[in-house]
Amino acid sequence: MTAIALFDVLYCYERSGFVLSCPRLELRLGELTLITGPNGSGKTTLSKLMCGILRPKQGRISIFGRRADELSLGEIGSKVGYLFQNPSRQLFAPTVWQEMLFVQEILGQDPQPARARAEQLLARFRLADLKERRVYTLSRGEQQRLAICTMLMGGAEFFILDEPTAGLDRSHRTELYKLMDELLLEGKGLAVISHSRELASRWKCRQVRLREGQVLA
């Protein structure tokens, strides 16, 4: 199933004049797509278009079959999760447990199912013993896993990971790779922005390369 599709998309930064052009790109559930290219080629711009943070000047983007321009950022976020290069930027609550229930409390949802789901996810991603830990004291790898947990709490089916291996040692990279494998086995979709040769060699996956704002393959 196609999760995200871009058709004749054009985005321009007026101040710098940088233009991103994407004639056609489709990203599917159950697949990992690696997004590569030199610094400044437009990788992060492309990823922000795919998750609704940026809106195209021209062209069309669809999210799970619906036009992105007809969806709010919250509606897109409930289907597409974006993991920042620095995950601490997207964690807002004081503790791990509060972070897991943050969105549900804002939306006024029934707390009992949310708590049960949070317990399940924390156990699955080896964070159960850190429930009362202050978020800012977590390691980078733990913050990544917590951020992905909160996306799953919100119902995300497709995940965009921005340079997820940056700053991780070998053991934390291995843990991240296992998590990515688990998500793919569940039928989730992944788009990973990375320069990592290790990551590229681990998965024989589709690659999308950017150069000077052009989506080449």
Tell me if 121 sits within 8 A of 153, measured CB to CB.
yes
Tokens in use for 159? Answer: 């995940």
Query: How much is the average pLDDT of 185-205?
Result: 87
Give the separation between CA 156 and CA 149, rounded to whole angstroms.
Answer: 10
Beta bridge partners of 159: 81, 190
Tell me if 119 sits within 8 A of 128, measured CB to CB.
yes
Query: How much is the average pLDDT of 138-157?
Result: 93
Find the helix or strand (DSSP H, E) in which 24 lies. strand 19-28
Which pLDDT score is estimated for 205? 84
Give the separation between CA 22 and CA 123, rounded to whole angstroms.
Answer: 40
Task: Spell out the alpha helix ranges (H) of 94-186.
Answer: 96-107, 111-124, 140-153, 170-185
Tokens in use for 21? Answer: 């052009």
Give the separation between CA 161 and CA 205, rounded to whole angstroms.
Answer: 15
| High-pLDDT (> 70) share of the chain, % | 98
Structural domains for the chain: 31-53+73-206 (3.40.50.300)
Mean residue pLDDT across the chain: 91
Count of beta carbons in the 10 Å neighbourhood of residue 190: 24
Q: What's the pLDDT tens digit per position in 153-174?
A: 989 999 999 999 888 888 888 8
Which pLDDT score is estimated for 95? 96
pLDDT exceeds 70 at position 38: yes
Which pLDDT score is estimated for 107? 66
Which pLDDT score is estimated for 203? 81
Q: What's the pLDDT tens digit per position in 67-110?
A: 999 999 989 999 999 999 899 999 999 999 999 998 777 766 77
pLDDT exceeds 80 at position 54: yes
The verdict on pTM exceeding 0.95 is: no
Task: Spell out the alpha helix ranges (H) of the chain.
Answer: 43-50, 73-77, 96-107, 111-124, 140-153, 170-185, 197-202
